[in-house]
Amino acid sequence: MAYELEDEFGDIIGKARRGNGLSLSRVASQAGITDAQLSQMEAYTLKPTEDQVRAIAEVLGLNGSKLVDIAMERWAPGPVPAQLDERRHVERISGDVGGYPVNAYLLICKTTNQAAVIDTAAHPNLILERIKKIGVKPTVILLTHAHADHSDGLPELEKATSCPTYIHANEPKPRSSQQFRTLNHGDEVSVGELTVKTLDTPGHTPGGCSFYSGSVAAVGDAIFAGSVGGPKISYQDEITSVRNHLLSLPDEVRLFPGHGPSTTVGEEKAHNPFF
Ligand SMILES: [Fe+2]
């Protein structure tokens, strides 16, 4: 496959099982497999059959056909097109946190060369290097959520760029060198001539949000290609907010998640087993 998905079959069923508050034994017995088999599947040490995937999907309220495609490695989202649209460009900066890649982004207004830094990927140095290399002017820092792998290094980034930092009003606040500016659903921030709209996508965290501008949305850990972020606060809020605020956008809108490859609204509607 061209891209590695962030989550494998085992991650997806584990998130759905815990999100639904179901025990391993209950899901296993309803799906007609043993506890040990389900446990091994969640740990990726046992590959399920298609029938087993469909049975587990049924118990967890996931889409069986979409889950089969991911379990059998038949789907991955297409690559990011070289040109997103006339007015915007997105640069992905990937940092390594504890052996796991994390994505931060620069959303660039092509007309003015001004940019929003979206998350830190816990590597402000990599972001600053990229800013210098491509010659853009950062004007704001936007945080999708406060988890350390997305916000560590914020004070260093703030000092080096002199940018204000925006975060959702409901989100716990990470370490910062200045006062945060807070956002609520629908609030807009300007980046050069671009307008970036805040969309509530809580569930992974209390005030997780996404940033939408024209043909692109940075979605943090609300949704991944083929999966969702761990629903640490509320599974129901995560599913509902992603469905209502992200999957309601036009199919061609490109989603840039905090982990794993980028995808589109249309791809996720067609292939994400949570929807
Ligand atoms: Fe997170």
% of the chain surpassing 70 pLDDT: 99
Spacing, Cα 229 to ligand 1 middle (Å)? 7
**Distance (Å) from CA 97 to ligand 1 centroid:** 12
Per-residue tokens: 211: 């940033």
Residues 230-252: what's their mean pLDDT? 97
pLDDT band at 3 (very low <50, low <70, confident <90, very high): very low
Query: What does the pLDDT look like over 28-65, one tens digit per residue?
Result: 999 999 999 999 999 999 999 999 999 999 999 999 99
Query: Within 10 Å of residue 195's Cβ, how many Cβ atoms?
Result: 13
On the question of pLDDT at 2 being above 60, the answer is: no
Q: Does the pLDDT at position 234 exceed 60?
A: yes
pLDDT band for position 83 (cuts 50, 70, 90): confident
CB 89 within 8 A of CB 115: no
Q: How far is the CA of 232 from the centre of ligand 1 (A)?
A: 9
pLDDT at 1: 39
Distance between Cα 36 and ligand 1 center (Å): 29
Going from the Cα of 50 to the center of ligand 1, the distance in angstroms, rounded, reads 31
Q: What is the whole-number distance in angstroms between the Cα of residue 150 and the centre of ligand 1?
A: 7
Backbone φ, ψ for residue 77 (5° rounding): -65, 155
Distance 158 CA to ligand 1 centre (A): 21
pLDDT digits over 174-190, tens only? 999 999 999 999 999 99
How far is ligand 1, taken at its centre, from the CA of residue 125, in Å?
20
CA of 207 to the centre of ligand 1 (A): 11
Residue 176 CA to ligand 1 center (angstroms) comes to: 18
Average pLDDT over residues 119-131: 98
| pLDDT at residue 248 is higher than 70 | yes
* 30 C-alpha to ligand 1 centroid (Å): 31
Q: Which pLDDT score is estimated for 246? A: 98
Per-residue exposure over 217-233, b if at least 16 CB sit within 10 Å of its own CB, e if not: bbbbbbbbbbbbbbbbe
CA–centroid distance, residue 136 to ligand 1 (Å): 27
Query: Predicted confidence band at 220 (pLDDT cuts at 50, 70, 90)?
Result: very high
Read off the pLDDT of residues 196-205 as tens digits, 9 standing for 90 and up.
999 999 999 9
221 Cα–ligand 1 center, Å: 5
**Rounded mean pLDDT of the chain?**
96
What domains can you pick out in the chain, each with its CATH number? 9-71 (1.10.260.40), 88-271 (3.60.15.10)
Ligand 1 centroid, distance to 60 Cα (angstroms) = 23
pLDDT of residue 13: 98
pLDDT of res. 4: 81
Q: Which amino acid would we find at residue 109?
A: C
> What is the 105 CA–ligand 1 centroid distance (Å)?
15
Cα of 7 to ligand 1 centre, how many Å?
14
Q: What per-residue confidence (pLDDT) applies to 154?
A: 98
For the whole model, what pTM was predicted?
A: 0.96
Distance CA 94, CA 148 (A): 15
CA angle 51, 224, 259 (to 5 degrees): 125
What does the alpha-carbon distance between residue 38 and residue 44 come to, in Å, rounded to a whole number?
10
